Structure 1
Amino acid sequence: MSNTATPSPVPPRASASRPTASTGARPGPAPDDKPRRFVFLLLDRFSMLSFASAVECLRIANRMSDRTLYQWHLIGEGGQEVSCSAGTTFKLDDDLVELTRDDTIMVCGGIDVQSATSKKVLAWLRREARKGIGVGGLCTAAHALAMAGLLDGKRATIHWENQDSFAEAFDEVDLTKSVFVIDGNRMTTAGGTSSIDLMLKLIADDHGEDLANAVADQLIYSSIRTDQDTQRLSVPTRIGVRHPKLSQVIQIMETNIEEPISPSILARDVGMSTRQLERLFRRYLNRSPKRYYMELRLQKARNLLMQTDMSVINVALACGFASPSHFSKCYRAHYDTTPYRERGTRGTRLSV
């Protein structure tokens, strides 16, 4: 994949808000050193958006600086070609070759990352990581890094849709809801355009914020996020209602799925009566607090059924259901299928 472009420097804009201190990323090359090389490991059905966002940042950084600051290399198992989640096929530059310590690996994940992460890929990741190479995971690829044991004891993030299954599978990883995380020489992103935020941070660390801001301007990326930003919209934005007590109750519900809290206690915790809470949910969400809570629990159950190998009874327990029969009854009423039949569709959902 070519990484050349006609230079066209543009004056950088005023500095945007972004932390200047490094959070542990390996320093990039000094201006007179050789280019920093990113090796993108493309897993089958990877997210094209996450991959393209990362590469474009590097390409534009080269163009804006009128120098080759960055190079990139595409690899994958077999070394021939790989398809992204949209079905487009990419020609690879290499197989799982041996790298140098100065390289930076970026694993690109997407749909059904568990199946796409083969034993050969895991062995390669462990071998290269032992050299001290920086390793990143874009979109769902944090799952591949965790499978290889590269995130043990580390902070990490993954797309919000995969958070539940990841947390169940890898309790040794400190999972966050950040847009991206850099912990030592391990990097993870939440998917989508969060690759841009990570790469802008690395470019700023390597060559200064002026260049990173110039790259953001070229991307028409006006709101640069940091590792302190969370990936999901706020509760009021998601539900389309700006009522502080309603938002507070929903946040409590979302963080207490395994052991649901009764409406009376929820109401007490936000300084309301149970009847007032009922009216609030009916007015703004057209359902009772109990119904809304049930839908949250069933949504998590569906994620676990489709993204993990957990037994149905363990999924039920993880989502606050006392018995498989009650879980199955509620699941069928909401999704018009049983948890067991849902398992037949596992791995078909898309990641961004």
Structure 2
Amino acid sequence: MAADRPRRFTFLLLDRFTMLPFTAAIEPLRLANRASGRALYDWRLVGPRGDMAICSNGSRVLVDAGLDAEAAGRDDVVIVCGGTEIAREATRASLAWLRRQARGGAAMGAVCTGAWVLAEAGLLDGRKATIHWENHDGFAEAFPKVDLFRSVFVHDGNRLTAAGGTSSIDLMLHLIAEGHGDALAADVADQMLHTAIRTDQDRQRLSIPTRIGVRHPRLAAVIARMEANLEDPISPAQLALDAGMSTRQLERLFRRYLNRSPKRYYMETRLARARNLLMQTELPIIEIALASGFSSPSHFSKCYRAQYGSTPYRERGVSGGASITES
């Protein structure tokens, strides 16, 4: 890339894109120009409608061009900004446009659920990537050729993905540091009051003690094992044994801090995973049941109805199939 030429970013704003990840991606570029006193970056907005894109919060953003926009250059970066109901946005026209940009040599990236569309275009096959934790299970089932991580962002060669929310800031600070040094990235972070710059080694979710509001090491360890073994649940007796306590002690621990039994907590966690898969994928109900640790569809349906007040079959009918939640 010529030293005096700004690096261009093209943001593809799909309808119902989420505002926060988009603004968190574009603002560090503006601030890098301001802090350096030079035009290090420029950007354009592209949308399938050609005139505007509608955000998931109802706002409307004017775009510079539609999918007939000139192809990005070899040194450019294309960022797909996704949001709710992302499967609907993986249209033939959008996928063809993305493949055309990739053939021209541009780096291809995504924020929030935009990784779903990149994967649908086949542009993440054999690559490392990330997506918001709420969409992780559905994405993993839909795109087994993608090496999926739970980190806040992933930079794999000319493929860039950020999980959503403020993770876009960390991805952009990473790119600014890579291109123009750590000092400039730190200046931009200071301007944004972003006091803790995360790396691609940082995980998305809060720690288990923070999430459950309890700082008890053995309880956190047991919950971590539960979350890692949803498809093949471990018995409470075995969980207790591995944690160095009796089953009765484990029961008391869960009752005291979470007001439910270990069995109930485990069931709720498995059902939450099942609901994500139900809403985000077209997997058959039996496969969702098996992936969530239920060997019998009837038992799965009974437990699901007790938890959510509706059967999996009825809920999928109401939701209309694959529907990706926003982040």
1:160 and 2:133 aligned: yes
1:223 and 2:193 aligned: no
Question: For 1:81-100, what aligned pairs fall within 5 Å after superposition?
Answer: 81-96=52-67, 97=69, 98-100=71-73
Q: Deviations over 1:114-149 (max 9, x none)?
A: 111211111111122122210011011111111111
State which of 277, 296, 314 in structure 1 corresponds to 2:250. Answer: 277
Aligned Cα RMSD in Å? 1.3
C-alpha displacement of 1:90: 1.0
Q: Deviations over 1:63-100 (max 9, x none)?
A: 11111111000001131111011011111101122222
Structure 2 SS opposite 1:37: strand
C-alpha displacement of 1:173: 1.0
CA distance in 1 between counterparts of 2:77 and 2:324 reads 29
Residue type at the aligned position of 1:273:
S
Residue type at the aligned position of 2:181:
G
Contact 1:85/1:350, CA 8 A, preserved across alignment: no
Question: For 1:164-243, what aligned pairs fall within 5 Å after superposition?
Answer: 164-243=137-216
Stretch moving more, 189-198 or 305-314:
305-314
Residue type at the aligned position of 1:77:
P
Aligned length: 323
Q: 2:85 corresponds to which residue?
A: 112
CA distance in 1 between counterparts of 2:326 and 2:49 reads 24
Question: Which runs of 4 or more aligned residues in structure 1 lie more than 3 Å from their structure 2 counterparts after TM superposition?
Answer: 346-350
Structure 2 SS opposite 1:72: strand
1:345 and 2:319 aligned: yes
- Amino-acid identity (%): 63
Q: 1:9 corresponds to which residue?
A: none
Q: Provide the TM-score with structure 2 as the length reference.
A: 0.96
Residue type at the aligned position of 1:39:
T
Q: Provide the TM-score with structure 1 as the length reference.
A: 0.89
Contact 2:294/2:300, CA 8 A, preserved across alignment: yes
Q: 2:47 corresponds to which residue?
A: 76
Residue type at the aligned position of 2:32:
A
Contact 2:153/2:170, CA 8 A, preserved across alignment: yes
C-alpha displacement of 1:350: 4.3
Q: 1:297 corresponds to which residue?
A: 270
1:103 and 2:76 aligned: yes
Structure 2: which 5+ runs fail to align? none
